[in-house]
Amino acid sequence: MLDDFLVRAALAGVGVSLAAAPLGCFIVWRRMAYFGDATAHAAMLGVALSLTLSTPIFAGVLLISLLMAVTVSTLSGRGYAMDTLLGVMAHSALAVGLVAVSFLSGVRIDLMAYLFGDILAVGKTDLAIIWGGALLVLVMVGYRWSALLLSTLNPDLAMASGISPRREQLVLTIALAIVVAVAIKVVGVLLIAAMLIIPAASARRFSRTPEVMALMAAIIGACANVAGLSFSYHFDSPTGPTIVCVVAVLFIALNTIQLISQRLSARLTSIRQD
C-alpha cells in the first residue's frame, strides 16, 4: 500500500494536519500567527545549512527553526515589539537562506520544492519522520494541554496555580519548530502557516470548548489534505498550493454557513444577550 506515491502523500498530509491542528489553535488563541510564519521562513536557512553539510533536510530545518523559536521567545519583551523582532529575524533568515542556497555549486536545487513543498515525492523515510514528529508533537501538547490552556487564558492565573507560562511557551515553541520541520516537505516554507492557522480558524465558530476546536481543526485539515491531493492529481495543479486552496475554501464555506445560521437565529441571540 505504501508503495503508491498517492497513498504516501495522503498519509503525510494527514500526519501534518493532525499535529498542526492543536498547535494552530494555540497560535490563533495567543495571536501569534506571525510567529508560525516567521519560524517557517527561517527554515529556508535550515535547508541551505543541510545542503551545505549534506545532512538530512529535516535535521537542518529543525535546528534552525528551534534556534529561531527559542531566540524570539527569549528576546520578546526586552525592548522590541514581538512582531518587529519576528519581521527582522524571519526575513533576514529567509534571505540569507536563499542567498546561501544560490552559492552552493554543483548542486542543482529545486527551490520551488522547498518553498511550496513536494508532497508527491514523500518517501517511506519521509513518512516515518513526519509521523514520528507529528506523534511527538501530539504527545507534548497533550501532556501539557491544561497548563498550556491556562497559560494562554491568563499567565497570572497560571502562575497562581504553580504553572510557569514561560516554560509552557517554550513547549509550544519547540512543538512549532518540529511541525515546521516535518511539514516543509508537504506544503513548503511559504505555506506552513496556512496549514496551522486556517483549519483552526475554520473550526472556531463551531466549537464550544478548546478540545472540540482542536479536534475539528484536525478533521478539517486532514480532509483538505486528501481533497487537495485528489484535485491536484486530476487537474495537474501544484499540490501544496492546491491543499491550501481547499482549506481556504473550507474556511469561507464554513464561515458562510455559520453566518447564515446566525442570521436565522438572530432573534434567539438577541434574547440571550439581554
Partner 1 sequence: MHEAVKPARTFVLNAALKDAEMLIQARNLSVRIGKVPILNGIDLHAERGEILTVIGPNGSGKSTLLRTLIGALKPSGGQIIRSPGLSIGYVPQRLHVDETLPMTVKRFLQLPHRVSSAAMQAAMDNAGVPGLLGQQLISLSGGQLQRVLLARALLDKPGLLLLDEPTQGLDRRGTAEFYRHIDTTRKALNCAVIMVSHDLQVVMRQSERVICLNGHICCEGKPEVVSNSAEYRNLFGFEDDEDTLAVYSHRGHNQAPDALQEAV
HSE (side-chain half, CA atoms, 13 Å) at 212: 7
Inter-CA distances, 60 with 12, 45, 170, Å: 20, 8, 20
Question: Residue 17 or residue 151: which is nearer to partner 1 going by CB?
Answer: 151
Question: Count of residues binding partner 1 (CB under 8 A)?
Answer: 29
Q: Are 133 and 23 in contact (CB under 8 A)?
A: no
Instruction: List the interface residues with partner 1, window 155-194 (CB under 8 A).
Output: 155-161, 163
Piece of the chain touching partner 1 by CB under 8 A; list 8-16, 92-100, 209-217, 258-266:
209-217
* Among 54, 84, 105, 209, interactor with partner 1 by CB under 8 A: 209
Tell the smallest beta-carbon distance from residue 216 to partner 1 (Å): 10
Q: Does the protein bind partner 1 through residue 22 (CB under 8 A)? A: no
Q: Does the protein bind partner 1 through residue 140 (CB under 8 A)? A: no
Question: Residue 30 or residue 87: which is nearer to partner 1 going by CB?
Answer: 30
Q: Provide the 8-state DSSP code for 119.
A: G
Block residue for cell numbers 513543498? 117
Instruction: List the interface residues with partner 1, window 24-53 (CB under 8 A).
Output: 28-31
Question: Residue 99 or residue 160: which is nearer to partner 1 going by CB?
Answer: 160
Tell the smallest beta-carbon distance from residue 202 to partner 1 (Å): 12
Tell the smallest beta-carbon distance from residue 214 to partner 1 (Å): 10
Residues 6+ apart with CB under 8 A from 243: 13, 119, 187, 191, 195, 224, 225, 228, 229, 232
Tell the smallest beta-carbon distance from residue 146 to partner 1 (Å): 4
Q: Does the protein bind partner 1 through residue 262 (CB under 8 A)? A: no
Piece of the chain touching partner 1 by CB under 8 A; list 8-16, 99-107, 145-153, 221-229:
145-153
- How far apart (Å, rounded) are the C-alpha atoms in residues 1 and 7? 7
Q: Where are the alpha helices (DSSP H) in 54-191?
A: 57-75, 82-103, 111-116, 124-143, 145-153, 155-160, 165-183
* Among 102, 125, 154, 261, interactor with partner 1 by CB under 8 A: 154
**Cell numbers placing 59:** 535535521
Angle formed by the axes of helices 210-235 and 192-204, to 10°? Answer: 130
Q: Does the protein bind partner 1 through residue 150 (CB under 8 A)? A: yes
Q: Are 174 and 66 in contact (CB under 8 A)?
A: yes
Q: Does the protein bind partner 1 through residue 210 (CB under 8 A)? A: yes
* Among 207, 230, 255, 258, interactor with partner 1 by CB under 8 A: 207
Q: Does the protein bind partner 1 through residue 204 (CB under 8 A)? A: yes
**Cell numbers placing 159:** 502562575
Block residue for cell numbers 498550556? 148
Greatest CA separation for the chain: 70
* Among 139, 153, 252, 268, interactor with partner 1 by CB under 8 A: 153
- How far apart (Å, rounded) are the C-alpha atoms in residues 259 and 264? 9
Residues forming the site for partner 1 (CB under 8 A): 28-31, 146-147, 149-150, 152-161, 163, 201, 204, 207-210, 212-213, 272-273
